[in-house]
Every structure is written in structure tokens, then in C-alpha cells.
Structure 1
Amino acid sequence: MTTSQEELLPATRRSLAHRLAVAQAEGRAPSLVAAVVRGGETVWNGASSSVDGQSPDENVQYRIGSITKTFTAVLVLRLRDEGVLHLGDPLEKHLPGTGVGDVTVAELLAHTSGLAAESPAPWWERTAGSLRPELADVLGERPLLHPPGRRHHYSNPGYTLLGAMVERLRGVGWEEVLRREVLEPLELHRTTAHQQALHADGWAVHPWADVMLPEPMEDLGRMAPAGQLWSTTGDLARFAAFLTRGNARVLSAESVLEMRAPAAPPEREELADGSAYGLGLQIQNRDGRTLVGHSGSLPGFLANLTISVEDDLASVVLANCTSGPQVSTVAADLVRVVAECEPRLPEPWRPLAQVDRSLLELTGQWFWGTQAFVLRLASVGDVSLEPLPTGGRRSRFRSNGDGTWTGLDGYYAGESLRAVRRSDGSVSHLDLGSFVFTRCPYDETAPVPGGLDPEGWRGIG
């Protein structure tokens, strides 16, 4: 990924720099660094520091905390795509003997396993991982707090289990698997399990006085897959581009799309603010746009990676303090600034190079009962079904190559769509998961379930 600062207008760069400076000053952060990605390339890097003339750049390492979980999730999805496991598999199948083996891989990824949020005392983020050498030490005597699959309950031990599963299936340590399968292919050379020069030191800033206290930087041991990594804005910008587009060497675009889709039922407070959780990625609605990514924190550090796929924008914000700046808000604001100052230009309309005439015949208006829909040819072989005028159930469908289509999203995700033809080859109706769509409301020539009144349409009188 290249860095091309001149691609943003001067006024946009000034707005981004101002937002970062305000966040550093009001949040009282020793340093704050950020990057913005557009179209898969870094278009802005910024920093604000308490030390004059020594602002860190995009190559300085910060600890990224729970953004590590997204990296671990990528490793698990790779195993799924290779056929080594299924997301519905119970953990016991791949990591026996944990005592919580009935929870599934998907439940661990989406934090719906029912596991506790933290490991038993002492606080794992501020103590040596050597205090928890075994998985039993991470899980404790009461690992399950809720019935699996019933609610979203964020769990750090859950990702420890996923990391241990990856190690068992790959036959080497989590750190080595990550380096070999993700970091090297994506050229994330400054993302490491342990700090390397140059790196920021972690600080606690006193809440009522402008003084600081150094925070310990512990090796998390077994908890590493939940929060160990160090990285830079440069590397995380490249990682954000990967989470938007996929990479054939690591994970396909279809699989990263699956990671970004809600996979956990939100809690009441999450419903209120429009947030959800996918497979290793947080999802939120802010300023009318859907943002995906992950936040992270460890004593001395705050981190956030935010992506707006629709705007083709992403941002990364890192700070070296335990609390203060609201980095998730700052990251969302950086995306908003660019989206509003320089809105994305739509791709030019282009006609299809070829079209199946039998498919073209199916386009246009259809009726489910009396509700009008329109079938559109979305791309070669693919279609969309949308209600008219607006509102109601809509879905996109991917061609199966045999005259049928499978729903990709919405109410009809996974459902089968097919055109039913009469003996003369003409189209009788569309069958969508047993729903009959006809060319006119309750077409008498089509097999409408329940049949039609023989007197047909009529008035009240």
C-alpha cells in the first residue's frame, strides 16, 4: 500500500489534523497517531504529541489490545475455508478437554458462547501471563455464565480458546501461525507479539492532575490471542484494506464479508446505539453509516480501527494512555470528515458485455399476492428483487448456473429462487422459497396457493 497525502484536498487534511489535535489536547494523551485509508491506499497520516518536535510517525509501534482478536478470527476463518473445521463444530471436536467443549467455534468468534468476560483474578491485563500457564487457569472454576448461543457477552477467554485451537490444528504456536499466514502475506512487518524499536511507552494519566505514571507491559501468555499484539498505523491501514477487499493469499472477499456481517444478537443497550458483533469484528451505526472494525485497550494504550465499506474509507487511531481520548469516536469522525468533504464518486454506469435473453425475459414487475416487486438484472447471471415503491423485503441473488439463484442477503438469504415454465416454455411464475410471484396480482393462469375465487376481482356493491 502506498501513501499519497496529496490525494486529499488541503481543507480536508486540515480538518483531519484539527480533529486529531483536539482529541490529543482534550483527552490529555501523551501521543495520538492516526491514518486514513481510501480506495485501499493510505491517503493521510497524522500525529499529535506532548513532546514538541517529536511526534511519532506511521512506523512507531503501539499496543493494539483487542484488535488482536480480529487477527485471530482471520486464522479461524482460514481453517474453515480449508475445510479443516466448520463454524458449527463444537470446540471439543478440535480442542478436547477444556470443560466447555459444547460451545461452537462460531459462538466463540461472535462472543455468544456464554463464557465469562475475564479470566479469574488477578487482572490478566496487568499481570504476567505465567500466572495462567494452562487453559484451566484462564477459564477458572465457573467459566460459563450464560447458556451458549443465547446472548452476546464479550469474552476474552473465548479468544484464548480459539488461539489454542489454532495451535492444535496447525501444530505450531499461535504467534508463528499468525506470522506465517497473515502478517507476512499482507506485508505487516511492524506487527509483532512483542514490542520492537521504535515503540511508544504506555502511560496512565492522572484524572485530576497533569502527571503520568508508567504502566507495566506484560506478556499475556495464554491470553495472547485476545490482546497481545503491537502494531503501527501503517500496518493497520493495510490490514483495514484487507478487511474491506480480502486477499487471495489470506482470506477471500466473501469470507471477510462474512466476518463483517452481524452474527450475535445484540444486548438491549447495543440495540439502542445500533451496534452488533460479527465474526471477530464490531459493527455500529453512526452518522447514518455502518462502520465495522474493532477497538482495543490495554493498560497504557488505546486503539481503534474503523471501516466504512460503503464510503471505501477506513481510519486507524492509536494512543499511549490508559484512558482519556475516545479513540473510537475519533476514528469515526475521521471517516466522516473525508466522506463529507470528499464524497465518493460513483462508478460510471456501463452496459453489460453480454446478456442471457432468457434471463432478460424475467426482469420487470412481479407480484407476491398484491405486493409489487421488481426483478432487476444486477450483473451477469445475478438478479435483485426489490419491493415497489419502497420498503419491504429485498434481496440480491447469486446465480447457481442451472437456472436457479440463491439469496445473498435480507429475508431471502440462502433461499432458492427459480423460474417455473409452462410446457410451451413461457414463464408461469417465480418460486421463491415456496412464495409464488406472478406477473399480475393473483394471476389466474398461475398455480397460486389456495386457488382463486372463481368470480374473480369485484367491487363491494
Structure 2
Amino acid sequence: MTTPQDELLPGTRRALLHRIAVAQAEGRAPSLVAAVARNGRTVWNGARTSVDGHAPDENTQYRIGSITKTFTAVLVLRLRDEGVLDLGDPLEKHLPGTGVGEATIADLLAHSGGLAAESPAPWWERTPGALRPELADVLGEKPLRHPVGRRFHYSNPGYTVLGSLVEKLRGAAWEDVLRREVLEPLGLDRTTTRPQAPHAGGWAVHPWADVMLSEPTEDLGRMAPAGQLWSTTGDLARFAVFLAQGDDRVLSVESLREMRRPSAPPESGDVVTGYAYGLGLELRRSGERLLVGHSGSLPGFLASLTIAVEDDVAAVVLANCTSGVPLATVGADLVRIVADAEPRIPEPWRPLRKVDPSVLELAGQWYWGTSGFGLRLTADGLLSLEPLSGNGRRSRFRANGDGTWTGLEGYYAGELLRPVRRTDGSVDHLDLGSFVFTRQPYDERSSVPGGVDPEGWRGIG
């Protein structure tokens, strides 16, 4: 049930409608549909103009192009979480004979495997997939363009390889695995590999005249895991909620956080624009706001899925034109409109129900050398380390159950925090990846590597 707190204000709804109306008119899109999700549900839908004489809505299918890659990445992460593969495994271990077996699974997910951007001629988006019945036909005779693992180079064939990997390890067709493991559990019954009515037709709009040309709608065959899917704003809004919050029937929130972390070094030009790529997800900066999601395009269609996880707002925008509408920008604007006009209301602060005295003892002020840090025990059971000055390394730590803690992000991600105790049980210092944190700067009572000058702190003169 929608509560008054979930509903958008009239001014916000009008601003959203205005933004997509401007995008459709200036971009000359035959039709454009959009949706916004907040607090785990869709809170706004909008559409401009018509599809086959009827106004499109949240159930009208559009082709979503490379957003398909995010679905494929979810399937691969499921295999990893089940222990079937490791992201560091070379492809050759699980799918031999491709000619790109040196690339790891993580390389392929992050577009750093060195593979070509496109499949060999003819233009794969506008030709029947049946022309490439085998994986070798997709990769071609020289599939690599760069050394493996050295640079980000977006690759459609790379995700075709991942789809073939899923098929090999699951013993079933990619689309069947996708339906069984992702679409059905999440209730995405309007996301399909082939169009189902009502759906939009794809159009090319002449750049110098207000006329249109119908685009072919090809089945991509082997290339399907890179861009085959059709979906709706309703389904993609639900998928966006899953990508932000997780669903243990499909993929945990921890694995989704991993997908949202930058995994490939950006191209030199992207360093300026704030673009990076995770594991099947794009990351962009819009001002101070971090946006994750994916864009997509195929002849006749454009698509964008944008999530601001910290703001708990997601936007989906779909259009049936080959070019002309900057959907990634439109999606970012829809998120900004909602997040700025109606900021997220934080959850109420609540204290811990119970606390281990040995953990509570760790809370407070610590020093790495002469740099001050605060270690806080939070209501979610994590330890949070932050510099007192506001500048410096920070991270949250999750308990391992043996008295140690593992870093979750930043410089200390994956690093071990270990309280070192004296013979009487009191804490001598914290060992964080071999760095020593003491209660006072270079505390003479603590075991500081190199020792502490016995003359202590002094002035000059």
C-alpha cells in the first residue's frame, strides 16, 4: 500500500513530466516513457506521444539493448556465489578453446579483457543472429585488441562469451537460465527475449527532416547476452530496486555492492567525465551524486537505467529512436529532481539491542602515528573508522566472529582489523593491515614497531 510519505508532491511530478516532455520534443523521439522508483516501489510513470496510435504506459515493451549485460552479469555472480567459479579464474578453465581464454571472468565482466568492441562484419545489430551460429563467428580470427587486463575497452563480444559461459555451466540456454533464475523470482514477466504486445516499433528519425524510417528488429542469436532483451519501465523499475537492495532469492546485497564498485581503469577521457565500470554496471558522477546503472541502444531504440543508491531514487527512461535523446542525462535529471525536491527521510536512530563489552571497549579515539581517528560501533553491528580531521582513510568493518573485523570499502577493503590485547586482557593496540593504532599518539605503553623514544615528547631549546 502506498503511504502519503511515498507519494511525490504535485510540483515534483510536474517537474518530472516537464523534463521528459522537453526530452521527447527536442530529441524528436516518436515516443518516450519513464518511471521513477523510491523506497522500494514505483512512485511515478510518465509518457509522451503514442505507440501505434495508443499512449504507451509502464507495460509497453521497448528494446533495452546493453542493459541486458547487467542481467547477464547477475547470472555470472550467482555462479560465483554458489562456488561454481571464481572471478579470478581464466576463461579457459571453464570454457576452453575460445582464443581469449587468458582473460579472467572479472576481466570480461569489467570490459578489461582486451576483446574487440564489436563482432566482425556484417554489422551485428542489423543482421540476423543466425549468421553467427558459433561463438567463433562472434569473436572472429583476431578477437583481442589490447593486452588482457590492461585497459577498459567496452566489448559486446565479451558479454556474448559470458552468456556462453552461463550456458556451459548451467547446461541450458542463456534465456532459459535468465528466466528461471532472475526474471521469474523478481516478477519481471514483461521482460522477454522477443517482443510481446504491446510493444513499440523501432524508428530512425532523419537528422535534417521531420520524417522517420522503420528500423529492422533482428534476433541477435549468439549476441543475445549482450543486448537482446525487451522490457518495460515497470519491470526495469523493479529491477532497479533489486540492484539497490538485493534479493537473496537472486543475489545478495553484498554481491550487488561488489558489482557497483569500479573494476576497470577508465579511458583517459573518462577520468575527467567521472565514468567508470563495475561488474556489469556503469558508474557516473553527476555533481556530488554517484549514479549506477546502465545505458542501452540498438537500431530504433534507446534505454537508460539510473540509480542513486544513497538517495534511494532510481529512474528508467526508454525511447524508440536510434539517436537524438541523451537518455543518460535525462535519467540523471529525473533522479536529481526527486532527490533534491524531496530528500530521503532517514530511518530513525535506534540503539543496539545488546552489545559485547569487549567490542564496546574498542570504541573511541585512536591514533595512527599522530593522525587521529574515531572508531564507532554502529546500530547495524559494524565498526566505523573515520579520521577526526575529515581527511584521510575511512572504512566500515564487519565482524568475523573470532574477534577480528574485515574492512568493507576504501583503502581498507578486505583488510583485517585485529585488537591486540595485553596479558591482563586490556587492549594494547589495534593492528590494521600491520598498521598500529594506539590510544595516544605513539603511546609509550603500547607495542609500537620501532619503539617510542624514552625521552618522550619535548620542545626545542
Segments of 5+ residues of structure 1 without an aligned counterpart are: none
Matches within 5 A, 1:86-97: 86-97=86-97
3-state secondary structure, aligned to 1:234: helix
Deviation at 1:379, TM superposition (A): 3.3
Which shows bigger deviation, 296-305 or 48-57?
48-57
CA–CA separation in structure 2 for the residues paired with 1:121 and 1:4:
54
Matches within 5 A, 1:25-424: 25-49=25-49, 54-379=54-379, 381-424=381-424
Deviations 1:300-341 (A, max 9, x none): 000000000000010000000000111110011000000011
Deviation at 1:353, TM superposition (A): 1.1
Segments of 5+ residues of structure 2 without an aligned counterpart are: none
CA–CA separation in structure 2 for the residues paired with 1:241 and 1:348:
21
TM-score (norm 2): 0.98
Deviations 1:33-59 (A, max 9, x none): 000000110000000016797320000
3-state secondary structure, aligned to 2:378: strand
Deviations 1:281-301 (A, max 9, x none): 000110211000000000000
Deviation at 1:381, TM superposition (A): 4.1
Distance 1:206 1:27, change over 3 A: same
Deviation at 1:454, TM superposition (A): 2.3
Deviation at 1:378, TM superposition (A): 1.9
Deviation at 1:99, TM superposition (A): 1.1
CA–CA separation in structure 2 for the residues paired with 1:322 and 1:5:
38
Distance 1:264 1:258, change over 3 A: same
Deviations 1:400-458 (A, max 9, x none): 11111011111111111111111111111111111111111111111111112222211
TM-score (norm 1): 0.98
CA–CA separation in structure 2 for the residues paired with 1:381 and 1:283:
28
Q: Percentage identity across aligned positions?
A: 76
Deviation at 1:141, TM superposition (A): 1.4
1:394 and 1:410 in contact (8 A); partners too:
yes
Deviation at 1:108, TM superposition (A): 0.3
1:5 and 1:43 in contact (8 A); partners too:
no
Distance 1:391 1:12, change over 3 A: same
Distance 1:381 1:3, change over 3 A: closer
Deviations 1:212-238 (A, max 9, x none): 000000010100000000000010011
CA–CA separation in structure 1 for the residues paired with 2:196 and 2:415:
50
3-state secondary structure, aligned to 1:207: coil
* 2:460 equivalent in structure 1: 460
Deviation at 1:193, TM superposition (A): 0.3
Deviations 1:92-116 (A, max 9, x none): 1111111111111110000000000
Paired residues, what number? 461
Deviations 1:195-251 (A, max 9, x none): 111110000000010000000000101000000000000100110011011111111
3-state secondary structure, aligned to 2:167: helix
Matches within 5 A, 1:405-444: 405-444=405-444
Please give the root-mean-square deviation of Cα atoms over the aligned residues, in Å. 1.6
